[in-house]
Amino acid sequence: MPKLIKNRSVVEDDFVLIKEFNEGDAVPAGKIILPVQVYLDQRAELAGRDDVAVWLESDQPAELLKEIADEVAFLAVNFPKFADGRGYSYARLIRERFNYTGELRAIGDVLLDQLHFMARCGFDSFAVREDRDAEEALKAFEAFRYSYQGANDDPSPLFRKRLG
């Protein structure tokens, strides 16, 4: 079973990411992460299932998640490649504007050197790339001792802490 980092611990990932879904396919049973549009298209049939999560592609509007956030197990945002940083902005929107307090998972091209910054934006679980070691990736959270600016994980900037 694949591993992921959740709340700064390595745990087994018992959800299966559904990357491809063709119109007319039946939604599989079990713990799954569906593309958000598949969930929206089959929302009535999936209502009440606590084993379904959704993922958002980086070129889709974050607003797709706003109305369904409380219906699904968790939300995930895909990072299709290292250089695509739209997921950081989505995490802030989801946490700050949508007031989402549930699990927010980073999936896709999630690398060790991004984890600290992803956590600062609001992600609390990370499906580290399969070719990387999740245990080794935990060290990324200790790479920076202080952060100058406020963010989702700590809204107080460093200069405010120094005054007190």
CATH value at residue 64: 3.40.50
Alpha-carbon gap, residue 128 to 11, rounded angstroms: 12
- For residue 146, the model assigns a pLDDT of 56
pLDDT tens across 29-87, in order? Answer: 999 999 999 999 999 999 889 999 999 999 999 999 999 999 999 999 999 987 788 99
Query: How far is 156 from 32, CA to CA, in rounded Å?
Result: 36
The total of structural domains in the chain comes to 1
Calpha distance 37→43 (Å, rounded): 9
Q: pLDDT tier at 112 (50, 70, 90 boundaries)?
A: confident
Domain residue limits at 34: 3-163
Whether 119 shows a pLDDT value over 60: the answer reads: yes
Higher pLDDT, 158 or 86: 86
Mean pLDDT of the residues in the chain: 87
Name the β-bridge partners of 10. Answer: 5
User: Whose CA is closest to 129, among 152, 150, 106?
Assistant: 106
